[in-house]
Structure 1
């Protein structure tokens, strides 16, 4: 009687600490995706109510009187969702590491086979990777709903929908957003990394500790030397990303309205971007070191 061949052991599934750490952040911080979706829903409601004026706007656009009126709601939706995502990113970063010390869950998470580096980097990936993807998906989804509804309204008013579609450069706007959102995330990387570092150190009032040192340095420089290099550097970091991404050739003179004006290849060669990424790496390294020694609050 022949012996049955032994079954080969099933290889255990490889644990992916970084992946599950990111999933944990999404489970514990639902505002990451609920806030952009909620604000988009509010804007959509306002747009649906306003479509009774769509026929008049379309006639004005066809007559050449009103060129940007049709596109304005779509661009405004993108701006509001993007601004909401930025606010969520700031407040998430401020509480990223302080929250686990405050509720003492740090004792539990440190008992798992997940390193401090993986934990900090997974938290940093939320404002740098996850939120830009969510913002882009919400913007495109909201714009598509607006386009479908506008098409229905145009048909009911006897317009050829192609007249509407030809005056809505949505594909170009989505292209600009698809390239600019990763750039903005990298541009603001030192800001998010600084906030995460502060959240790893501060016991309370993280927003004051985050704002206090740079503002104090700027004030001391102004009082002692009569210069404002620090304040200009801060202003450049907080507003320069939008100027570089959404104005023609980064000159803040005209908005991007063509590929020639956009020129996405130049974004890679902006020196301030790489300086900021080096600072972000330094701040995240310091946050990792701090998490190893910080106790619950």
Structure 2
């Protein structure tokens, strides 16, 4: 178990630039944009009356949500590039014989890389997300106090916003990692065979599979087949179906500050059978890749 944990830790050390150092640098950009937004007139929430007690939460809640979504998109993109690079790194830097000398099987090595992709690496980015969100909320509050904006939240209000958005982003992160696990495993397995070309080749596989079904079973075109419909369904973010309820209806329609309600709603929309199938598929392709790696290194 210690060897497995060491392998996961190695992945963080080798890729901390993309998953920790780089995001930390982007935090400065987030803070600078927040200061500019509330000091140069881009955001003007000087309002009185009953709206003044409700508007602060809305003004600060949605930027925090958008910030979390942006970080999520960044993480997913970087994770796929990590799978294409990390799974082929041992072969590319000629360290294969060194890692083969360890008392760890090829399958466990590849499993450690995938485990890093769904635990410590996104965990580092999530920590940066919390830091950037806290700095953004604090900076926005201070900027509104300095420029005399009427709509300001109390400390309890800021903590409530932070807690709810943090919970929402955590659940979205966990759900997305589970939902896209088979895609990441496929890219990683392809990287073992073809190296960094894994991403474009993996993107071609759905088209090839749909074309084979179209040629053998018929249909209007390759993009009107059961294979393509299923892959399109698996490639769709699970939270996409919640937009109408939680965003389009606006804060007047539902309690958007209820992170627990949002999280439970998102969890209820997940096709857990497909998640199980995805986990089995991920383990299967990793096993096949490990067998190829073991035999290729032996030759």
Shift in Å, 1:87: 1.0
5 Å matches for 1:1-297? Answer: 16-30=2-16, 31-52=18-39, 53=41, 56-59=44-47, 62=52, 68-158=58-148, 159=150, 161-162=152-153, 166=157, 169-203=161-195, 205-222=197-214, 224-226=218-220, 227-243=224-240, 247=243, 257=256, 258=258, 259-260=260-261, 262-264=263-265, 265-266=267-268, 270-295=272-297
Measure the CA separation in 2 of the matches of 1:117 and 1:155: 56
Measure the CA separation in 2 of the matches of 1:269 and 1:96: 29
Computing the radius of gyration over CA atoms, which structure comes out larger, 1 or 2? 1
Which digits, 9 at most, give the CA deviation of each residue in 1:121-176, with x for residues without a partner? Answer: 11001221123312321111111111222222233345584358648733212111
Shift in Å, 1:63: 8.0
Preserved CA contact (<8 Å) 2:8 2:112? yes
Preserved CA contact (<8 Å) 1:35 1:88? no
Return closer, same or farther for 1:247/1:276 CA change in 2, 3 Å cut-off. farther
SS of 2:119's partner is helix
Gaps of at least 5 residues in structure 1 are 1-14
Return closer, same or farther for 1:280/1:241 CA change in 2, 3 Å cut-off. farther
**RMSD, aligned CA:** 3.3
Measure the CA separation in 2 of the matches of 1:242 and 1:136: 18
Preserved CA contact (<8 Å) 1:33 1:134? yes
Return closer, same or farther for 1:114/1:166 CA change in 2, 3 Å cut-off. same
Return closer, same or farther for 1:237/1:163 CA change in 2, 3 Å cut-off. same
Gaps of at least 5 residues in structure 2 are none
Q: Given the two structures, how large is their TM-score scaled by the length of structure 1? A: 0.80
Q: Which has the higher contact order (CA 8 A, sep 6+)?
A: 2
Preserved CA contact (<8 Å) 2:64 2:133? yes
Aligned twin of 1:4 = none
Q: Given the two structures, how large is their TM-score scaled by the length of structure 2? A: 0.80
More helix by share: 2
Preserved CA contact (<8 Å) 2:37 2:43? no
Preserved CA contact (<8 Å) 1:57 1:70? no
Alignment coverage as a number of residue pairs: 281
